[in-house]
């Protein structure tokens, strides 16, 4: 089940530069336009983006015109637009500059091949997770793609990051999730139960909360400063990802997590 893509909040718009004179509203809006495009919405019209961002259509049209002129957007079907090849110059160098992605790849590959599952490394970004690295142990593995985004509120990765945060940091993020994701009124109780188990077992279990057909297991990694919170996770079809299977995978995830933290001086 695909989630409906949610564009970044346009709260950094008209009033932002009255609060911060160094804030460039036009730049923020341009980046918000690019963030509208996801795996689920590879093509969009100007009107659709205007509704997603809560901005006037003429404003979004000018932003898109500029991004087209620079090669970051290109024409698609009809009057739609899609990201151009040049946008890769923004994303891939950034990912390549994060050492943990390469260090994690061999660790993820070993687990993926052993359990024939999908294994991912993700990081917190606002109220969402972003996939930094992903390895699939079989062609039928379910889940996300590199660069994909998904909500903290319903995912094993998101719950793991919440579990790994300091209390104040976790409370602040949960408060933000409550304001932006109405499902938390239900999902919050499920996370609380998973958090209890995490404190006992050291890993998070999420059964069918992100997708009815998927179970997943995850655990957090934290940078030494606490400024970056990652998760390492594995998920798959609920018929295969039984409690025992997830317990076995959790043991391997924990060993991989510990090696990564030592290698990167994380903890």
Residue-wise DSSP of 55-82: --HHHHHHHHHHHHHTTSEEE-STT-EE
The more confident residue out of 28 and 87 is 28
pTM for the structure as a whole = 0.68
Rounded average pLDDT over 106-134: 92
Q: How many residues does the chain have?
A: 267
Q: Is the pLDDT of residue 7 over 70?
A: no
pLDDT at 229: 86
Rounded average pLDDT over 101-117: 89
Element of type H or E holding 105: helix 99-115
pLDDT at 219: 96
Q: Hey, CA dihedral for 127, 38, 7, 182, is it positive or negative?
A: negative
Distance CA 163, CA 225 (A): 17
Residue 242 neighbours by CB under 8 Å, 6+ apart: 215
CATH code, residues 16-87: 1.10.10.10
pLDDT band at residue 142 using 50, 70 and 90 as cut-offs = low
Q: Is the pLDDT of residue 141 over 60?
A: no
What percent of the chain clears pLDDT 90, i.e. is strictly above it?
64
The more confident residue out of 192 and 84 is 192
Lowest mean pLDDT among 133-147, 174-188, 243-257: 133-147
pLDDT at 16: 46
CB 11 within 8 A of CB 19: no
Lowest mean pLDDT among 34-38, 123-127, 137-141: 137-141
Say if 16-87 and 98-264 have the same CATH topology.
no
pLDDT at 48: 95
**Mean pLDDT over the full length of the chain:** 86
Distance CA 195, CA 208 (A): 16
Q: Is the pLDDT of residue 43 over 70?
A: yes
SS3 266: coil
Rounded average pLDDT over 119-141: 85
Lowest mean pLDDT among 23-32, 61-70, 91-100, 101-110: 91-100
pLDDT at 241: 93
CB 164 within 8 A of CB 222: yes
Q: Is the pLDDT of residue 4 over 70?
A: no
What is the CATH architecture assignment of 98-264?
A: 2-Layer Sandwich (3.30)
What percent of the chain clears pLDDT 70, i.e. is strictly above it?
84
* Structural domain boundaries in the chain: 16-87, 98-264
Element of type H or E holding 118: strand 118-125
Rounded average pLDDT over 65-71: 94
């Amino acid at each position: 089940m695909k989630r409906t893509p949610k564009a970044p909040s346009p709260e950094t718009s008209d009033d932002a530069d009255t609060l911060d004179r160094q804030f460039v509203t036009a730049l923020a809006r341009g980046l918000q336009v690019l963030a509208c495009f996801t795996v689920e919405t590879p093509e969009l019209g100007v009107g659709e983006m205007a509704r997603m961002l809560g901005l006037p259509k003429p404003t979004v049209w000018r932003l898109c015109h500029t991004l087209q002129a620079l090669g970051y957007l290109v024409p698609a079907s009809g009057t739609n637009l899609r990201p151009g090849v040049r946008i890769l110059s923004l994303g891939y160098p950034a990912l390549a500059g994060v050492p943990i992605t390469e260090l994690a790849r061999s660790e993820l590959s070993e687990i993926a091949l052993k359990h024939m599952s999908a294994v991912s490394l993700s990081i917190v970004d606002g109220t969402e997770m972003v996939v930094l690295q992903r390895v699939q142990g079989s062609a039928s593995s379910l889940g996300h793609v590199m660069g994909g985004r998904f909500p903290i509120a319903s995912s094993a990765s998101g719950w793991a990051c919440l579990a790994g945060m300091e209390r104040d940091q976790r409370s602040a993020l949960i408060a933000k999730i409550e304001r932006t994701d109405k499902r938390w009124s239900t999902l919050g109780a499920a996370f609380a139960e998973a958090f209890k188990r995490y404190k006992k077992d050291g890993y998070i279990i999420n059964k069918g909360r992100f997708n009815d057909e998927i179970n997943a297991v995850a655990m957090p990694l934290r940078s030494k400063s606490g400024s970056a919170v990652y998760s390492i996770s594995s998920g798959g079809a609920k018929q295969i990802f039984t409690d025992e299977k997830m317990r076995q995978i959790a043991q391997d995830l924990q060993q991989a997590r510990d090696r990564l933290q030592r290698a990167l001086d994380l903890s």
